[in-house]
């Protein structure tokens, strides 16, 4: 497939001259003995009186090492939600272009499509929650810019078959965005390894789930250097703040802590799966590769209310397509899960 990203970029973005911040113009800004009088900052040192690095070089360099990619194949955002929004703004002409999403899935894709006045063509997953490739290709037209694949998928918990993802990557002429928010809980490989093979592959990850940093808001987009340079043109200059960059660096350095928490969460998930088998109103337990479990119950609204009354908040997914009477349970600590189990069994 001969793929030219320039065929996908919005015309206004193509000709856009990005805002150039003081810190963009002088890149080596943490050179220790320089005097910085260029950005109208308060000169009194507090750790955060200076604008943050707009390119987050330190965070990117550690991520680049850990994931074996180049820093120029990476864009960081204020959560993956910002990264996803930038993709819409770079590639989708409002009221002209469309994207494809595969419900039941993460609600933000549809919300972002609406905010950006981009048509969202929904192609339901199959009953076993896999992409329906033929239906997807029927929905695609010359204005289809992106397909969103959430794998492992929220709220179903499964990942998509390698075969269907590969078919889309090979045959769709727009961007295939794979949201890997839950990849660290899965035994499957990340699609990152295939990035050099597919010029239309975009992968998003986040520090919000396995990395335990939902509060700092840091999302990552991995893609070809060409795609990343387009996103860089339109991103707000200081979209990742200094406190976030510092905290992310600390955490990324502590790979042992991250891995041991992931391991504990997976152990708790397996425990909970066993218990759920014996809860009489649980009608189905969906296979999961994430830090949550989707279950089908007799009456989701009733079971949801019962749990709330016992002080336990879960997610009721009953209104989602193919998810009637389903509940999504996030895996907590061992003691939180004990409380959940007790409440489920009563
Ligand atoms: C939680 C979640 C995210 C994370 O979004 P952030 O903005 O990075 O916190 C992204 N995608 C999916 C599918 C999620 O469930």
Per-domain boundaries in the chain:
5-19+54-253, 256-345
Specify the ligand 1 atom closest to the Cα of 150: 13
Which residue from 84, 87, 129, 154 has its CB within 8 A of the most atoms of ligand 1, so it is best to mutate? 154
For residue 121, list its beta bridge partners. 100
Q: Is 79 in the pocket of ligand 1 (CB under 6 A)?
A: yes
- Reading the block at residue 201, the tokens are 């592959």
Alpha helix locations (H) across the chain? Answer: 11-14, 22-25, 57-67, 80-91, 108-115, 133-139, 162-171, 225-234, 242-253, 255-276, 300-309, 334-345
The protein residue whose alpha carbon is closest to atom 14 in ligand 1 is 181
pTM above 0.85, yes or no: yes
- Contact indicator for 180, 11 with CB cutoff of 8 Å: no
Cα 85 from chain centroid (whole Å) = 11
Distances from the Cα of 285 to the Cα of 18, 156, 254, 267, 294, angstroms: 49, 10, 34, 17, 6
Q: Is 101 in the pocket of ligand 1 (CB under 6 A)?
A: no
Q: Is 206 in the pocket of ligand 1 (CB under 6 A)?
A: yes
Distances from the Cα of 224 to the Cα of 77, 155, 206, 307, 319, angstroms: 17, 29, 18, 45, 37
The protein residue whose alpha carbon is closest to atom 2 in ligand 1 is 181
Tens of pLDDT along the chain (346 residues)?
679 999 999 999 999 988 888 877 776 655 678 899 999 999 999 999 999 999 999 999 999 999 999 999 999 999 999 999 999 999 999 999 999 999 999 999 999 999 999 999 999 999 999 999 999 999 999 999 999 999 999 999 999 999 999 999 999 999 999 999 999 999 999 999 999 999 999 999 999 999 999 999 999 999 999 999 999 999 999 999 999 999 999 999 999 999 999 999 999 999 999 999 999 999 999 999 999 999 999 999 999 999 999 999 999 999 999 999 999 999 999 999 999 999 999 8
Distance CA 236, CA 24 (A): 12
Edge-to-edge strands, sheet with 326-330: 282-285, 292-297, 326-330, 315-316
For residue 76, list its beta bridge partners. 220
Q: Is the peptide bond before 104 cis (omega within 30 degrees of 0)?
A: yes
Q: CATH class for domain 256-345? A: alpha beta
Pick the CATH number of 5-19+54-253 from 3.30.160.270, 3.30.70.260, 3.40.640.10, 3.50.50.60: 3.40.640.10
The protein residue whose alpha carbon is closest to atom 12 in ligand 1 is 181
Angle between helices 57-67 and 242-253 (to 10 degrees): 30
Q: Is 106 in the pocket of ligand 1 (CB under 6 A)?
A: yes
Distance CA 99, CA 87 (A): 11
The protein residue whose alpha carbon is closest to atom 3 in ligand 1 is 181
Q: Is 185 in the pocket of ligand 1 (CB under 6 A)?
A: no
In angstroms, what is the span from residue 33 Cα to ligand 1's centroid?
40
């Amino acid at each position: 497939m001969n793929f030219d990203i320039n065929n996908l970029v919005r015309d206004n973005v193509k000709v856009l001259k990005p805002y150039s911040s003081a810190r963009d113009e002088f890149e080596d800004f943490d050179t220790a003995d320089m005097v910085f009088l260029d950005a109208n900052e308060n000169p009194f040192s507090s750790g955060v009186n200076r604008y943050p690095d707009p390119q987050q070089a330190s965070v990117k360099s550690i991520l680049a090492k850990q994931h074996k990619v180049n820093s120029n194949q990476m864009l960081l955002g204020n959560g993956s939600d910002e990264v996803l929004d930038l993709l819409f703004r770079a590639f989708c002409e409002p009221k002209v272009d469309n994207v494809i999403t595969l419900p039941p899935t993460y609600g933000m894709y549809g919300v972002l499509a609406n905010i950006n006045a981009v048509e969202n063509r929904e192609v339901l997953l199959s009953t076993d929650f896999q992409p329906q490739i033929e239906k997807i290709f029927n929905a695609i037209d010359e204005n289809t810019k992106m397909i969103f694949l959430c794998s492992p998928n929220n709220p179903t918990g499964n990942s998509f078959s390698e075969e269907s993802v590969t078919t889309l990557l090979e045959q769709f002429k727009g961007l295939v965005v794979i949201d890997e928010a839950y990849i660290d809980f899965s035994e499957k490989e990340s699609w990152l390894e295939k990035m050099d093979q597919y010029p239309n592959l975009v992968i998003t990850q986040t520090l919000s789930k396995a990395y335990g940093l939902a509060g700092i808001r840091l999302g990552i987009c991995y893609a070809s250097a060409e795609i990343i340079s387009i996103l860089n043109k339109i991103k707000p200059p200081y979209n990742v703040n200094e406190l976030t960059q510092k905290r992310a660096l600390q955490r990324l350095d502590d790979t042992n802590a991250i891995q041991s928490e992931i391991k504990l969460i997976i152990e708790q998930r397996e425990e909970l799966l066993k218990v759920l088998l014996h809860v009489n109103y649980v009608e189905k337990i969906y296979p999961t590769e994430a830090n949550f479990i989707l279950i089908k119950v007799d009456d989701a609204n009733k079971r949801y209310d019962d749990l709330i009354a016992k002080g336990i908040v879960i997610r009721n997914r009953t209104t989602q397509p193919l998810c009637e009477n389903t509940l999504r349970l996030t895996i907590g600590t061992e003691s939180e899960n004990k409380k959940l189990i007790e409440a489920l069994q009563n």
